[in-house]
Structure 1
Amino acid sequence: MCLSDASTGSQRGDMGEGIPLHLIGFKCVCRSFKQDVSSNARAMMKLMNGADMAKHSLSTLGSANCFVDSLHDGRDFDCNISRARFELLCSSLFNKSVQPIRSLLETTGLSTSDINKVVLCGGSARIPRLQQMIKDLFADVELLSSAPPDEVIAVGAAMEAGLLVGREIGSSPESVIVEACVSDILLKEVDETGAEVFSVLLPSGTPLPARRHHILSGPGRLASLCLELYQKTTEQPERLAKIVLRDLETKEDNHDIDAVVTMKRDGSLHVSCVEQNSGKTEAISISAAS
């Protein structure tokens, strides 16, 4: 028995839009943009992307940051949203997701006691509140969530195709799964002419865990230097984090910054920067988006 509802997905469904609608109101009141950007398609798309990343983070964290670079009139947007707030915003969508299950059970004449396993699939299956509601509905049923929800349907279709052509499941050697970086991780620098350039630290497909060293140079006359990490999933890179080394001693020659970027198997990033002359250090950790 399979049940799906595309309207609750994160790409174009209502659940992906709940956070941006909240953020628009929050922005207008608290950040004084003085203008409703809902009619600006480009700004809305950037806001949707930032909110979607925040939603993914809320699957594992109690709160998440939503940062949108140059959202409107060259001004950045930055705010935090808690998991409790997100669950409140999407409570009607969670109920909408669970209601068809009850309807299907009623139509087929089955009860929850007749179901022995439930497989979660789709990106929204990672949402803790939605998982809990399904657990409450199927109190004595095993909830299977070990397989990546985004891959469940594809794997099931491949297994069914194998059965249709007469291939027994498990007859071929078990595949070895290697975790890999899903997108390019970039470092933004400024060259001698003042132009911004991006260096690829971790190309897409890099086996994890991975560790990279990179030496940056900055003018010695500056008392602070900034390092920015980006993720390239589309043509326009999205900023992941910014690290600022402050209170550096000015000097005639350049500052040399040793940057170390480490990505774990779960996709989380740890970045540390050390100014080689003074030993000034800054570090930041970035949790993986689910």
Structure 2
Amino acid sequence: MHRTAQARRRPVLVLVLLATALAGCSARPTPPAPGLAADGVPESRPGRAIGYLADDAIPDSAALLPPPPAGEAAGLDQARMRAALALRDTPRFAQAAVDADLDFPQAAPLFACALGVEIDVAHTPATWRLLRRTLADAARSTRTAKDLYKRPRPFLSNKAPTCTPEDEADLAHSGSYPSGHTAIGTLWSLVLASAAPERGDTLLARGRAFGESRVVCNVHWTTDVIEGQFMGAATFARLQSEPAYLADLDAARRELAAARAAGRVPARDCAAEAAALAMPAAAG
């Protein structure tokens, strides 16, 4: 009787063990769910912020932008590039390298001089959050046109150095049109001008110079910058109906006013930055 019951249980036990083994072989690691970073910004993975806009709300650059100019129509690009190459080894070229770094925390104070207030996660968390999340939105807005047109970058044809040689291998395989950095800088200037309208003209001028830095850096053509400005503005328009963005913008207005009242001035050398940006630009 004991041996019969044991024999009956054995097939069941074998099936359980087999099913467990197969499950172990076929299991795939579950990707981590999006979460909040230490700075309170939602991330899809460490260091990659999630923007405010849903996929279907991102402006489609492939549908909005004309093809990049070619042949004689590209004369403006060539002329501006020749002017930009003359700025190598000048303070303006060095500023273009500073403007190229969009990693946080070093990217946070790029517009601090124009804003007149230092930006950091401890004292201006809503403004910090606005910059990180809108960066993601603006960057996504340029991707479809980049993938469609695959325009080669200027340093590939003129063979001159860029302001970020460490990035050249990646940039060589990334479409030049439109400029993603310019879309981000334009959007940041518009967002910050909304949060601090009393600094609006200065912030918008800084956004323009931010785009010009990409031509000075020898990584974008002038028409890349022009259409990057358009995509930054298009993204800004879409953000106006996003509740999370509007809530952060309202919080940023209050905290920037408080920071200004407390005398939290930019930590960087704003006079040196202004002097560098005042040099003749290539993409006016």
> Shorter-chain TM-score: which interval?
under 0.3
Structure number with higher relative contact order (C-alpha < 8 Å, ≥ 6 residues apart): 2
TM-score by length of 1: 0.24
Q: Radius of gyration: which is bigger?
A: 2
TM-score by length of 2: 0.24
Higher strand proportion (structure 1 or 2): 1
